[in-house]
Structures are given as C-alpha cells and as structure tokens.
Structure 1
Amino acid sequence: MARNLCLHCQRPTNACICDFICDIDNTTPVLVLQHPNEVKHSKGTVALLQRSLSACQVFVGENFSEHTELNELLTHYQGLLLYPSEQAQVLQRLQGRSENFISDCAAHKPKLLIILDGTWRKAYRMLMLSPNIQALTQICLPEHLANNGQYLIRKVAKKNALSSLEATCYALALLDGELHDSIEESMHEGDVKNPDKIHCGHYQVLLDKFAQFNHFQLSFRK
C-alpha cells in the first residue's frame, strides 16, 4: 500500500517536516553537493535547509568534475568550500570587510558557500573525484563552533560532528556578520560547550527549528 505523502515536503505524513521549515533570506547563497546515498535519508537535514533558505540549491552526485551547472556557477561566484582540511582557512566573525580568504582575482565576485553532504568518507571521495571542487578556497569553522554539534539523531564518525544544517548556519552567520558577541565571551569564560551562548542572528531560528526536528525524530525511537 502506498504511503500518504505531504504535498509540500514530499515526506510520509507521519514524518512531515513542514512544522520545522522557516523562511530565511540568506545574504550568501548556498550550494549543497549531496551524495546520492543521502537523498532519501530520513534523518538528513538538507531537505529542511533547502526549504528554509531563500538561496539554496542542491546538486546530487559523486563526481562533479564535469557538472555543467556547477562549473557555470563557479564562473560567476567565488566558491568557498566548507571542508576542514589542513589548508582550510578558519572563518572568523567579520569586522567590516575583513574577508582575507578571498583572493584578489576573485574579490569582485559574490561569495557562494559550498557544502559537501555525505559521511566523512563519502565527502572525501567526492572531493578526490572532482578537481574543480579541490581547486576551491577551503574554509572551516572555529573549533568552538565545530565542536558544538547538537545532532542527536544520527551516529557520526566524529564526536560532536555537525549536521549539514548546523555547519551551514554557523558558516553563514560568520560570513554575513550575524554571529553574536557572546561566542567570544563564552570562550573567555571557558564555557564553549553551551549552545545557549551561541546566537547566529536571523539564522538562529533555523537552528532552533533543527533542535525541534531532533526531538521529533527521537520520538520515533520510543
């Protein structure tokens, strides 16, 4: 028997995520490169992210080296790949226009935040298969943000690993100057694990909805 689907989010009605969707105008557009294994994962967060942000596209694949739409976008945008490699530049809360991770030759281009959505192993494979992605400027979150994951519903390879939604919201808040000063205050106080002291401006509502989404998913385990 076919399951009843929500007409808006296209999920089974008992797993509908519409209550967790919010409308947010993001200044920096987002592109999610999603591994095919993640597309129908019920605990994935990209569906919620894409339906909440005004400027968010999702391309599905594993090898993006010949991806026409992606390569076209990269001619018009300065692509910033959120990936914690050794050469990644740490994002900091912006003061004015201190975007020192943007090269001089691309300073005139608008920023495009690019996310790899998959397990650590799958994301690494996507990167290795795609020279055009490898060539992007790589950025990462400050340690106190990267270790502040609240992803309770899915087993991850790293302790406190962030969901794609959390990582995107934190990065957007940093890029758009939306991050609240209390983060730096909490670092001085040694209280960097308290999510209540991290506020991401108008992206915070999506993080709050994500917390509700976590509890909703956990209710299915009872």
Structure 2
Amino acid sequence: MLQHPQEQRQAKNSVALLRLSLAHCEVAVGERFAPEALQSLLHRPGRETRLLYPDVPAAPAPPAPATPAGAPLRLVVIDATWRKSLRMLLEHPALAALPRLPLEAPAPTRYRTIRAARRADQVSTLEATVQALAMLEGPSFDAAPLLDAFGCFVAGVAARQGLV
C-alpha cells in the first residue's frame, strides 16, 4: 500500500483494517517517494508487480506481460482520494510504468454511509483490494471475514459520527 499521509489520519481509514487482517500487507506512507525507495518497494525478486488502478487518459496503462498460472504477484494499491492518487501516479514514473490490474465491475460499496463518492464505481481501498485479491487468488480466497469486519468498522464509524 502506498498511503497518502492525509488518509493515515482519517477515522475512516480502511487500510488500518487491511494491515491487521492480511499477513503480507505492507504500508508505506507518503505523497512523494524517492525514486530508489519506490523502486525497492515496487520490485522485489521473484514476483511480478501489478498496480490496482484503472487505465486513465492522463496516465495510460502499459500492457501487462503474461504471467504464468500460480506465479506470485505483488499487488500495489494507492490509498488516497482519486485526485491525490492520480497526482501520486503522475509524479512517480516508476508507479505509472507498472502494469495495471483494473477492477472490471466493482461490487456495490458499504462505504457510502461514511464517505461520499462522485461515482457509483468508487469503492474503499479495502473493498477494491478484496476484489483484486479475489480476482488474483480465485475461489481459494475467502473475502467474507474481511468484508464482515469492514461492515462492523463502517457501522462503528457511522455511529461515532452520528450518521445512524
């Protein structure tokens, strides 16, 4: 995860739940990363890397090389508002050069209760990551426990904010 510093301080920060729930979840907080540091985060031996991000006109996605079935993948996720995530993508050529893993049709979000979105296909970082992991890992990935925990998280934040 590359997390924008402002997201880290949000009460509705879904990355905190991902970090607690996924064994191999690493979070680097920052808006601008030194090129060498970013390279070491993005590229480690033995894994192909994919960026969970849609193809956007301002930063077209490079073609993804074929990956053998069962080959280990590193999934990179930007945790920021759409505007800030695009800025992070444009300011880091190494990030923009990564092959993308777009979500085909994101499932409806549970996040609307606590955070507004401009479009129906905008989901939380946690929900997008869960969908991506389900795409990558197939039927062996059980998303239910993480999504149930997220539902409780959203309900708790909504209650604290007086939204329910």
Indicate the TM-score class for this superposition, using the shorter chain for normalisation.
0.7 to 0.9
Equivalent of residue 155 in structure 1, options 94, 113, 116: 116
What is the CA-CA distance between 1:71 and the residue it aligns to? Answer: 1.2
What is the CA-CA distance between 1:102 and the residue it aligns to? Answer: 5.0
- Is the partner of 1:56 in helix, strand or coil? coil
1:133 corresponds to = 95
Q: Please, what TM-score do these two structures have when normalized by structure 2?
A: 0.84
Gap runs ≥5 in structure 2: none
Question: Are the aligned partners of 2:61 and 2:97 in contact in 1 as well (CA < 8 Å)?
Answer: no
After superposition, the Cα gap between the structure-2 partners of 1:160 and 1:220, relative to the gap in structure 1 and judged at 3 Å, is farther
Q: What is the RMSD computed on CA atoms of the aligned residues? A: 2.4
Alignment of 1:22-37 (within 5 A): 32-37=1-6
Structure 1 vs Structure 2: percent identity of aligned residues?
37
Q: Residue 219 in 1 paired to residue 150 in 2?
A: no
Structure with the larger RCO, 1 or 2 (CA within 8 Å, 6+ apart): 2
Q: Deviations over 1:4-49 (max 9, x none)?
A: xxxxxxxxxxxxxxxxxxxxxxxxxxxx001111111111100011
What is the CA-CA distance between 1:75 and the residue it aligns to? Answer: 4.0
- Is the partner of 2:100 in helix, strand or coil? strand
2:51 corresponds to = 81
**Aligned length, in residue pairs:** 155
Q: Please, what TM-score do these two structures have when normalized by structure 1?
A: 0.63
Q: Residue 59 in 1 paired to residue 59 in 2?
A: no
Q: Residue 178 in 1 paired to residue 130 in 2?
A: no
What is the CA-CA distance between 1:212 and the residue it aligns to? Answer: 1.1
Equivalent of residue 205 in structure 1, options 145, 152, 160: 145
Q: Residue 164 in 1 paired to residue 125 in 2?
A: yes
Question: Quick one: distance in 1 between partners of 2:132 and 2:156?
Answer: 25
Stretch moving more, 207-216 or 70-79: 70-79
Q: Residue 72 in 1 paired to residue 40 in 2?
A: yes
